[in-house]
Every structure is written in C-alpha cells, then in structure tokens.
Homo-oligomer: A and B are copies of this chain.
C-alpha cells in the first residue's frame, strides 16, 4: 500500500485480534486511513477492533474519524431477499 492511501479491513468471524493486526499492518505500511467494514453480527466485533486499536495497540496514534451505518440487501440460505445492517468505522492516523 502506498503512503497516504485508504485501507479497508473486512471484519468477519475470526477473533478480533486478527483484524487488529491486519489494521496495524496497513497503518505501518503508510495508510493514512483504514475503514473497518462489517455486516450483521460481525458489527459488534468491528467496534471491538476499533476500541482495541484506539486504547491499546495504536493508543494516541489513531482516532475514529467517522462511523456510518447502512442496510444492504442479501439473499439468505432459503433464497429470501432481506436487509442486513452494515457498519463502516473510519480510523484516521493522527500524524
């Protein structure tokens, strides 16, 4: 990743630490912003990742610059169309 780019980390069902490390890597590679994206039940984990980064791994170096929510349409296991909540948490390097 080039310096100043915006990174994206998709939050799934792995332990929060996996996504914390992925974000630290992108920041260390020069990303100015990293957006954590999650859907459905992984939304809680996205907030965990942001908080762990802000308070522990990148304490003082990172701020949450924006949090957006939305709804996407998916087809579930039974083929039914339904809405699923999504979140995007934008993290910005302070320096």
* Interface positions of A (Cβ within 8 A of B): 40-44, 47-48, 50-51, 55, 64, 67-71, 83, 85, 87, 89
Contacts and interface: CB of A to CB of B under 8 A. Distances in A.
A71 B40 CA distance: 21
A70 B67 CA distance: 12
A47 B87 contact: yes
A71 B50 CA distance: 10
Given A40-B44, A41-B44, A85-B44, A50 B67 contact: no
A71 B67 CA distance: 16
Given A42-B44, A48-B85, A51-B85, 11 more contacts: A41-B44, A47-B69, A47-B85, A47-B87, A50-B69, A51-B69, A51-B70, A51-B83, A55-B71, A55-B83, A64-B69
